Amino acid sequence: MNSVVGIDLGTQGLKVVFLDAAGGGILASESAPLDLYQDDGGVAEQQHHWWLTALKEALAKVDPDVRRDAKALSISGQQHGFVALDDAGEVLAPVKLWCDTSTGKECDEIMQAVGGFDACIRAAGNPILPGYTAPKIRWLKSAHPRLYEKLDCILLPHDFLNLYITGERCMEAGDASGTGLLDVRERCWSGKMLRAVDPDRDLAECLPALRVRNEAIGKVRAEVAEELGLPVGIPVAIGGGDNMMGAIGTGNVRPGNMTMSLGTSGTVYAYSDEPIIDPKGNIAAFCASTDGWLPLLCTMNCTVTTELMRGLLGTDLASFETQISNAPRGADGVLTLPFFNGERTPNLPNARGCILGLNGRNMQPENFLRSAVEGATYALKFGIDELAGLGVEASEIVLTGGGVKSDKWRQLVADICNSPVTVYEQDEGAALGAAMQALQILEPASEISEITDAVLTRDDERCCEPRSTAVTNYADHYERYQQAVAAVTSLYY
């Protein structure tokens, strides 16, 4: 049975999905965990060889016969990571990740060199925020000048796996949007931004070829095919950032669609036929991997928040659902501001999580747990409101990510955002999106929307509608959340 392969290199793990190339069913889905190094200074790093180990482990779990029938593959990867290569193709340093908030100084220096916040948005469509790739490059120059002198090529995480599998160096425009180096309006590198990162060197010489549409970038090399149990020479699509592949994986490939991802980070994004530039910089002006654009809001603490709270209280997943149900809307006044790892939106890289509203009656485990879910969801509702202010609206929210497994969380999203919530049976997110992108290079006459429509099936039992009384209640609770964010901003700005 012919299949296509989608690979998603995440923060906490790597997933592989094999999709039936003819019928669209999922033949296999496996994963392998990844370690993460973090410290109190905002550093968040991984070693590149961890990714290769996880890729081999995940694929080894798939039936060899299924692997041998693969006809194409594509790779999704966490955005913003900085993979620095020397001229021999060796990785120079641990990979700083999207959740690394240690480069605030470099962000300010780059924007000052461009002419300020507004000038940066005019040049690239986005401000430079902690987590983006550009300040990581400047950090390497300052912190490790000898390594920086050896820098020959700048790659993103999914680009590195592409290089390993095909031997080709390239970068896809959607993923490149998160570097801070791309003019997202024109889908080309911004000379002004490159000079702001390093005025003494032409960084364009370190950037790989930029790909702007789905095509085969190369083929699986013989030695890699033997290691992974895949056929030699099958084509590899351009791939993209996890948000761009998540958009494909949730059918978000035409105007009017909106996706909310409840993962380690939280994201909410919508497809657009034209660039959406936010003068306030809250909404990232990213390119899609399907010829359009993908205006997006990212928070750094989504399931991070709920997992930290579960760990603190020693609550397993079954009890988690029960306890959320036992707490009232608004968690009896307990309010969590989920900034445990710093935050991107609002731009508070030095922030810390806050729990407000405690008194002698409401300090109950169920209130802490529900407030964690509500706080993470309030942070994403802000993105929906900001998108609406830019003229980007949708008739429903498609949910994806680990939080989707929670019945209560899905209903909370519907109630807090006052929107119908849709979940698909094929809830494989970015890995599935990559697989569908791989399928497109086997069917070049097909539009990506035709492929997503054929593959995705609505899971009616997990879909939900907003409840009017809950919507009214949550409007008040959300206003209190916004007031609390405004109040603590001065502590961490």
pLDDT tens digit sequence for 300-354: 999 999 999 999 999 998 899 999 999 999 999 999 999 998 898 998 888 999 9
Mean pLDDT of all residues belonging to the chain: 95
Helix (H, G, I), strand (E, B) or coil at 119: helix
- Give yes or no for residue 397 having a pLDDT over 90: yes
Mean pLDDT confidence for 221-227: 97
Asked if residues 230 and 67 have their Cβ atoms less than 8 Å apart, the reply is yes
Q: 220-227 long-range CB contacts below 8 Å, 24 or more apart?
A: 220/73, 220/165, 220/166, 221/165, 221/166, 221/167, 224/164, 224/165, 227/56
Q: Helix, strand, coil: what percent of the chain each, to 5? A: 40, 20, 40
Per-residue pLDDT tens over the stretch 232-284 = 999 999 999 999 999 999 999 999 889 999 998 899 999 999 999 999 999 99
pTM: 0.94
Torsion-angle region of residue 251: left (phi > 0), alpha (psi -120 to 50) or beta? left
- Domains, in order of start, for the chain: 3-242 (3.30.420.40), 255-423+463-493 (3.30.420.40)
pLDDT tier, 428 (very low <50, low <70, confident <90, very high otherwise): confident
Residue numbers annotated as active site: 242
pLDDT (tens digit per residue) in 119-132: 999 999 999 998 89
Convert 125-150 to b/e letters by CB count within 10 Å (16 or more is b): bbbbbbbbbbbbbbbbbeeeeeebee
pLDDT at position 367, please?
Answer: 98
Q: Each residue of 464-474: pLDDT tens digit? A: 999 999 999 99
Residue 24's pLDDT is what?
81
Mean pLDDT value of segment 159-166: 98
Question: Tell me, what's the pLDDT at 261?
Answer: 94
Please give the C-alpha separations between residue 87 and each of 47, 148, 151, in angstroms, as whole numbers: 19, 12, 7
- Confidence bin at 23 (pLDDT 50/70/90): confident
The whole-number pLDDT of residue 394 equals 87
Query: What is the total residue count of the chain?
Result: 493
pLDDT in tens, 354-391: 999 999 999 999 999 999 999 999 999 999 999 999 99
pLDDT, one tens digit per residue, over 96-122 is 999 999 999 999 999 999 999 999 999
Q: What is the pLDDT of residue 316?
A: 93
CA distances from 484 to 176, 353, 413, 425, 480 (A): 34, 12, 20, 37, 6
DSSP conformation letters of 271-326: -BSS----TTS-SB-PBPSSSSB--EEEES-SHHHHHHHHHHHT--HHHHHHHHHH
- Specify the pLDDT at position 485: 96
- Residue pLDDT, tens place only, 242-254: 999 999 999 999 9
User: Residue 493 pLDDT > 80, yes or no?
Assistant: no
